[in-house]
Amino acid sequence: PQKHILRKLKDVIDFSQVHEWVAPLYSEKTGRPSIDPELVVRIIVLEYLFNHSEREFFSILPMHAGYLWFCGLDFESSLPDRTTLVKTRALWRQHGVFDRLMHQVVDQCIAAGLVKPDVHAGVDGTQVRANASIHSLQEKTLAPVQSLQDYLSELERDDRKASSERHDNQDDDNDRDPTSGSPSNQEKPKTNGLEERAAHENFRGKKFSNQTYRSVTDPDARLYRKSKGQETYLRYLVHNLMDVESGVILATTASVASGTAEREVSLHQLAEVRFKHKPIKIRTLSADKAYGTPFYLQSLFSQGITPLVSLQNLKLEETPTWKRKTNDPERQRKRQAKVEEVRIKNKAKQIQLDGKYREIQVKRTRLEHGYAESKNVHGLERARSRGLDCMQEQALCTAIVQNLKRLCRLKGRRPNTGTLACAKTKNPREWSHQYPLAFSIFSKIYEHIVQITEKFTRFSPVF
């Protein structure tokens, strides 16, 4: 159909630069030629756009005309093997190719005018169920503390014991009757330990902790719950830094589930956006009450960012004073830190009381809308694979697809928006790029002056 999203996507995206990114990863002289990297990107976009697993997608691809057309193939083309794509993604994860793809898509959104130079951003995190069962938890065993000499002597005893058992097994093999049958046929088949534990072990009433237990299936996953009424599962956290006006995700990061991960990752994302996307500047940052710590607020103020954090108590606090002076340097340091903490909190509360950015704060709910879209439509509800690096890849690919959908929607309103319009400018500090409204006004004035000049020059009176 003419209005299908794949037609808009094909006009919007341009991943031809991926050839330059992956060229150093392959040899020009030895080995078999690799799969077309742009084809890999298009396949990944389709998988995340329509929430297909790799097995499901490759079973649908040979008979789906729209998918083949988007990938530049036909019904008679030879399709890549699924395992080739698996190994290609693993190679790209190690060398940051997906981070470059995310960077390029955000640059396209900036160049197309979807993201304005002055950004009102919002930050939040969401939970993602890990691809591991609660029955895969095993208690961590710490190695006993011993001296080097004891450790070497223990290894020597183990080697002697293993060699003696090896000799005994050889003697038994020589004495065994060959007609009696192999012992492997007489033994009972071994069962998987995790399956046996899941079938027989009862975890009700048992207490688990990340300090004492770890998942055998996915060691990077952690037991986590956001509130007391929520069930505890093995989870990851995915953090998005979003432009709340356009809905474009500027940065996304997957992290191990912990209580302080949101604030730590947010500061890293702000530094990343400031370094990678220089045409834009974050003016305000909307967040929930979990980001209302004095250290985090001070970090935002030091970067020139206005924090729009939902604080529980908006009553201004009095500056603390002490009846007695102290000469103890440690006590002086603590008193100064307390005064600075109260000053920072009052400054953030005063911003809330003024109500100047109330409209921007209301738009913070678009972060929740983005998470709902990513989970219900693009499969971010559960991890596709295992490991923190695979979770980071899934978060990046999901954000890339969501940003491409925003570009497609912009193309519907502005037909000239495409791969050429979304190309990255050579000089990001060019004033025509920074101030598109002023540039358009001066262009119209210049055209009007040229028309008037041509009108008078063509007039030649006859005497």
pLDDT in tens, 166-182: 666 665 555 555 554 44
pLDDT band at 144 (very low <50, low <70, confident <90, very high): low
Q: Determine how many CB atoms are found less than 10 A away from the CB of residue 411.
A: 20
Tens digits of per-residue pLDDT, 15-24? Answer: 888 999 999 9
- Residue, of 186 and 6, whose pLDDT is higher: 6
User: What is the reported pLDDT for 194?
Assistant: 52
Q: Determine how many CB atoms are found less than 10 A away from the CB of residue 74.
A: 9
Q: Determine how many CB atoms are found less than 10 A away from the CB of residue 179.
A: 5
CA distances from 241 to 44, 104, 245, 362 (A): 22, 16, 12, 16
pLDDT band at 314 (very low <50, low <70, confident <90, very high): confident
Tens digits of per-residue pLDDT, 84-93? Answer: 999 999 999 9
Which residue shows structure tokens 């109500």?
Answer: 355
User: What is the reported pLDDT for 259?
Assistant: 83
In a domain, residue 121? The reply is no
User: What is the reported pLDDT for 44?
Assistant: 96
Same domain, 358 and 437: no
Pick from 141-150, 314-323, 348-357, 411-420: least confident: 411-420
In a domain, residue 216? The reply is no
In a domain, residue 168? The reply is no
In a domain, residue 453? The reply is yes
User: What is the reported pLDDT for 441?
Assistant: 57
Q: Determine how many CB atoms are found less than 10 A away from the CB of residue 180.
A: 8
- Selection from 369, 421, 419, 424 nearest residue 8 by Cα: 419
User: What is the reported pLDDT for 229?
Assistant: 77
> Per the structure block, which two tokens stand in for 24?
């150093």
In a domain, residue 332? The reply is yes
Same domain, 355 and 445: no
pLDDT band at 283 (very low <50, low <70, confident <90, very high): very high
State the DSSP string of 350-389: HHHHHTTTHHHHHTTHHHHHHHHHHHHTT-TTB-SSSSHH
In a domain, residue 257? The reply is no
Same domain, 13 and 99: yes
User: What is the reported pLDDT for 212?
Assistant: 82
User: What is the reported pLDDT for 449?
Assistant: 65
Residue 268 is classified by DSSP as: H
Question: What domain range includes position 352?
Answer: 310-362
- Residue 309, φ and ψ in degrees, nearest 5: -100, 135
Residue 62 is classified by DSSP as: G
% of the chain at pLDDT higher than 90: 48
Q: Residues near 326 by Cβ (< 8 Å), separated by ≥ 6?
A: 332, 335
User: What is the reported pLDDT for 463?
Assistant: 28
In a domain, residue 163? The reply is no
User: What is the reported pLDDT for 452?
Assistant: 62
Q: What value does the mean pLDDT take over residues 94-98?
A: 93
Is residue 297 pLDDT above 50, yes or no? yes
Pick from 129-143, 256-270, 371-385, 434-448: least confident: 434-448
Query: By the 8 A CB rule, do 283 and 120 touch?
Result: yes
pLDDT band at 143 (very low <50, low <70, confident <90, very high): low
In a domain, residue 443? The reply is yes
Same domain, 10 and 97: yes
Same domain, 349 and 433: no
Which residue shows structure tokens 């030895």?
Answer: 30
Q: Residues near 24 by Cβ (< 8 Å), separated by ≥ 6?
A: none
3-state SS assignment for residue 159: helix
Q: Residues near 358 by Cβ (< 8 Å), separated by ≥ 6?
A: none
Q: How many domains does the chain have?
A: 3
User: What is the reported pLDDT for 377?
Assistant: 94
Query: By the 8 A CB rule, do 280 and 273 touch?
Result: yes
Tens digits of per-residue pLDDT, 52-65? Answer: 999 999 999 999 99
Residue 224 is classified by DSSP as: E
